[in-house]
């Protein structure tokens, strides 16, 4: 299966907590390709795509963070108006729920990172529509 590994880190909403994660990764020369934070008033979930997910996991666990590695899908899409809507329409037509999604741009291309409630069905949709998947080697070269 073509997935990439994403780090999910549980963070208390305390001053400097995010910086502690970033410094721990920086000290080990781990590059962050993408990140997003979902938060409440008391805590947040930091999601990261990094150059070396297994090493990052070990670094953060050793530093005392609550961290998980999760398989997610990453797709190349055109960085043009409507491109994301076209991709997500295919998932909606198949009644596939998206648990979360985040995206970032790289010039004329964009990358969407997503997690669904049915990975095998997501792969069928991706393959059937010839969407371009990204693997971990691609992430290292971004």
Q: Tens digits of per-residue pLDDT, 91-131? A: 999 999 999 999 988 888 999 999 998 999 999 999 999 99
Contact 63, 74 (CB under 8 A): no
Residue 79: domain span:
72-140
Q: Tens digits of per-residue pLDDT, 28-66? A: 999 999 999 988 778 899 999 999 999 999 999 999 999
**Distance between CA atoms of residues 1 and 65, nearest Å:** 28
Q: Which two tokens stand for residue 24?
A: 């721990």
Contact 97, 88 (CB under 8 A): no
Cross-strand pairs, 48: 7, 35
Question: Quick one: 96 and 58 in the same domain?
Answer: no
Question: Quick one: 63 and 78 in the same domain?
Answer: no
Q: Of 70, 99, 117, which residue sits at a domain end?
A: 70
Q: Of 70, 103, 118, which residue sits at a domain end?
A: 70
- At residue 138, the pLDDT reads 83
- At residue 128, the pLDDT reads 94
Among 95, 97, 132, 90, which Cα is nearest to 116's?
97
Residue 107, domain CATH: 3.30.2130.10
- At residue 136, the pLDDT reads 86
């Amino acid at each position: 299966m073509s997935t990439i590994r994403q780090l999910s880190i549980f963070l208390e909403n305390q001053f400097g907590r995010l910086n502690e994660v970033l410094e721990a990764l920086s000290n080990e020369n781990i590059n962050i390709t993408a990140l997003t934070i979902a938060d409440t008033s008391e805590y947040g979930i930091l999601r990261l795509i990094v150059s070396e997910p297994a090493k990052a996991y070990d670094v953060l666990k050793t530093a005392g963070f609550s961290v998980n590695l999760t398989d997610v899908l990453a797709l190349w899409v055109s960085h043009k108006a409507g491109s994301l809507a076209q991709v997500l329409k295919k998932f909606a037509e198949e009644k596939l729920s998206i648990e979360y999604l985040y995206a970032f741009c790289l010039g004329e291309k964009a990358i969407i990172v997503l997690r669904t409630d049915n990975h095998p069905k997501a792969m069928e949709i991706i393959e059937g529509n010839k969407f371009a998947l990204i693997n971990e080697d691609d992430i290292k070269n971004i």
